[in-house]
Amino acid sequence: MRYLKDINNAVELNGEDLTMDNVFTVSIQYGLQLLEDTKAQQYRESIHELEDEDRAKFYLKGVTSKRILTTMGEIEVIITRFQEKGYVSVIAEPWQRDTESLDLLITTSFLYGLSTRDIERLLKQLGINVSRSKVSRINKKLEKKVTDFKNRDLSKLNIAILSLDATFVTIRDEDPENKHYIKKPAIRVLGLNAETGYWELLALKIYDGETQQAYQEVLQDIKRRGLKGNPALFLRDFADSIAGAIEAEFPAAFEQCCLFHGVHTVYKSLPKRGAHKVKKLIHKITHEANREIWEKDLEEFEQKWGEEYPEALKKLQAHLEETKVSLILNDEFKTNNVNERANEEDKRLIKSKGAFKNTESAERIMILNSLDYLSNHERKKQADLDKVVEMKEIYDRMVTQIKETFDENFFSAGIQSLCPKWDSPVIWIDTLDLDYDLKDFGIKTKAKVLVCYKLEKRKLKRTLLWSCPVYDLTPSKYLELLNIIKNAASRQPEVIVLPADNTLLFEATKSIFNESEIQIDLDNFNDTILGLLPKRWRKKFTELFKQAFENDSIEGMTAHLLDKLVDKLKYHHFYNALNFFEKFKSYMLTFFKFGVNYFFNFRNARLLKGSIQLDKEESESNSEYLQKFLNNLKASTWSIPIVYKDEFKALFARFELREKQKKNAF
């Protein structure tokens, strides 16, 4: 070949002595040169077969020296160039300066906890001179992978089980004037694919606090991206925030608290010595699936050891029901070990990193770390698909039972007749919880009911307009139900009052009722934003909210107090609460746009929610219970306060005037 002499001259051509350190580099260099020269020769031969006019376009333009960074160091290769752009080097693309293997080495080193400076030093030890800026540019390629993951469509996944947990990471303060660090929870959602038996990472996001609202937003995100149906089982720890989020978003799903954590929580309340007999009985109680047996053993424990170990008895009674679901349905999924193991991987990574520059960089590295862990470690463990399918079938039968009972005894009784061609300037939409007993399965659960109220013109009372059970709280389901309400209306309402903590309902309402204004429930807004704050700060901010919104009037909510709230949230770095406040602040002022000096809140609605949770007797059937629930729902009305009646009458007048203007326009 033209540029490759005898291999014996490799030492001379390389310009240095051939040693064990560079023998691989020299071999690769001359091997690549041989491939490049062979392809160039073949290309020249193919040109000679062309006619003279066409051959003139492909004349040899010359040669160029190209340096390419590889995992073996920098390699220089002579590349032939032709006038026609159809020729591509076998070694690298025209603008390529490093190999994919080098990119992979750098990104993998970064993923395993090495900083940019550490990677630069490591590559120098290997004889590869790469600048710190180049390392950073290569690592930025990971951002596309993370962005694609966050926007991934989940509709093709058949998820049977969801696992939720959080681990804390240290983030450098986002305010440049402050130099201290903040610990924030990274909430991870894993899903077991019923078709493959492997765990999939569905979501990972960092929040200011481990609150119910944070967990709800994560669950709403995976539903928004197309999660099909309701998972049959949720694996979680004993945090109330997770339990509340699951009940709000997946009311009919089973919940399994980690049995390992439940047992060891009870063990921690026992003395270190002399409790081995008690531990054996606790282990027997917690690992027994038959209700009659473990209730009998619990009674024995209470009689023998209740006075001596009251704290252990209290924790055992509190956690027992929450750890039994998987033992009854499928004993394979009685712990949350898959998420706990992922947390351990994160802690190892976090320890090497120390602190992250910002939330985005922390999310990026933790997502990539979790994806790597699941692909390299959890792929070796495949769940028993027969057990997963069996559990999913049990869950489907449970949902079918709920639907049949609701359809036959609740909504076939004429609830649809409450939705004629209605006409009201203000409607209220919310979801309520309904306790439900699955007698065939021996498990109690909750069902969600979507309710819609309208404002009557004569008495200025809020009355029930329409109601429907919601088995699947997905965006498409909300759109379907809201379309039913809209199609039954003679015209679109002026104002729709919504809770602030249901993002999916909020977005669906904005989409369907696009000409209406939205008023956020003030009490729900306060409770939600306080839930985004650490517990020790809630009392202080409660007083600030009380001052800002006192008397439910615009005069009480001065600009000064609102600015004070914003400043306080910024000063204490409660960015999730601040973003939530900024998002919904304008929606709290909707009534004032219409000249109604009234902040609506659900104080009376809370009384309603309390009244519909009936004290059910053992002899009462589900159908009787549902009928009483429906009767209470119909009777749950209240009047607008007297001081605001004139203003709401003016709102009705404005409503009628707008309709006349539309008719005259036609």
What digits encode the pLDDT tens for the residues 141-162? 677 778 888 889 998 888 988 9
**pLDDT number for residue 219:** 92
Residue 481 dihedral angles phi and psi, to the nearest 5°: -70, -40
Using the predicted structure, report yes or no on whether residue 88 has a pLDDT greater than 70.
Answer: no
Which stretch of 131-135, 315-319, 574-578, 585-589 has the lowest confidence by average pLDDT?
131-135
SS3 99: coil
Using an 8 Å Cβ cutoff, are 345 and 183 in contact? Answer: no
d(C-alpha 526, C-alpha 601), whole Å: 10
Using the predicted structure, report yes or no on whether residue 235 has a pLDDT greater than 50.
Answer: yes
Using an 8 Å Cβ cutoff, are 342 and 370 in contact? Answer: yes
Q: What is the pLDDT of residues 276-291, one digit of tens each?
A: 778 888 888 888 877 7
Q: What is the pLDDT of residues 517-557, one digit of tens each?
A: 998 887 788 888 888 887 778 888 887 777 666 554 555 45
Q: Closest Cα partner for 119 from 171, 66, 71, 67?
A: 71
Sheet holding 638-639, edge to edge: 517-520, 495-498, 426-438, 443-455, 461-470, 638-639
End-to-end CA distance of the chain: 86
Location of structure tokens 């985005």 = 360
Q: β-strand 638-639 against 181-193: which pairing, if any?
A: unpaired
**pLDDT number for residue 115:** 66
**pLDDT number for residue 221:** 92
132: confidence class by pLDDT, cuts 50, 70, 90: low
d(C-alpha 166, C-alpha 603), whole Å: 33
Q: Classify burial at 403, counting beta carbons within 10 Å of its beta carbon; exposed 0-12, middle 13-18, buried 19 or more.
A: middle
Q: Classify burial at 51, counting beta carbons within 10 Å of its beta carbon; exposed 0-12, middle 13-18, buried 19 or more.
A: exposed
pLDDT, mean over the chain: 76
Which of 9-23, 121-135, 268-282 shows the highest mean pLDDT?
A: 268-282
Residue ranges of the alpha helices (H) in 49-179? Answer: 52-55, 100-111, 116-125, 132-139, 142-150
SS3 11: helix
d(C-alpha 418, C-alpha 420), whole Å: 6
Which stretch of 230-239, 271-280, 362-371, 644-653 has the lowest confidence by average pLDDT?
271-280
Using the predicted structure, report yes or no on whether residue 612 has a pLDDT greater than 70.
Answer: no
Q: Which DSSP letter does residue 90 get?
A: S
- Cα angle value 250/254/255 (rounded, 5°): 95
Using the predicted structure, report yes or no on whether residue 125 has a pLDDT greater than 70.
Answer: no
Interior/surface letters 141-167, b for 16+ CB within 10 angstroms, e for the rest: ebeeebeebeebebeebebbbbbbbbb
Q: What is the pLDDT of residues 188-213, one digit of tens each?
A: 999 998 888 889 999 999 988 888 88
Torsion sign, CA atoms 305, 310, 312, 313: positive
Q: Closest Cα partner for 95 from 130, 68, 131, 123?
A: 68
What is the Rg, in whole angstroms, of the alpha carbon atoms belonging to the chain? 33
Q: Classify burial at 196, counting beta carbons within 10 Å of its beta carbon; exposed 0-12, middle 13-18, buried 19 or more.
A: middle
Q: Which helix (H) or strand (E) holds 448?
A: strand 443-455
At residue 587, what is the residue type? Answer: Y
Q: How far is CA 661 from the centre of its chain?
A: 46
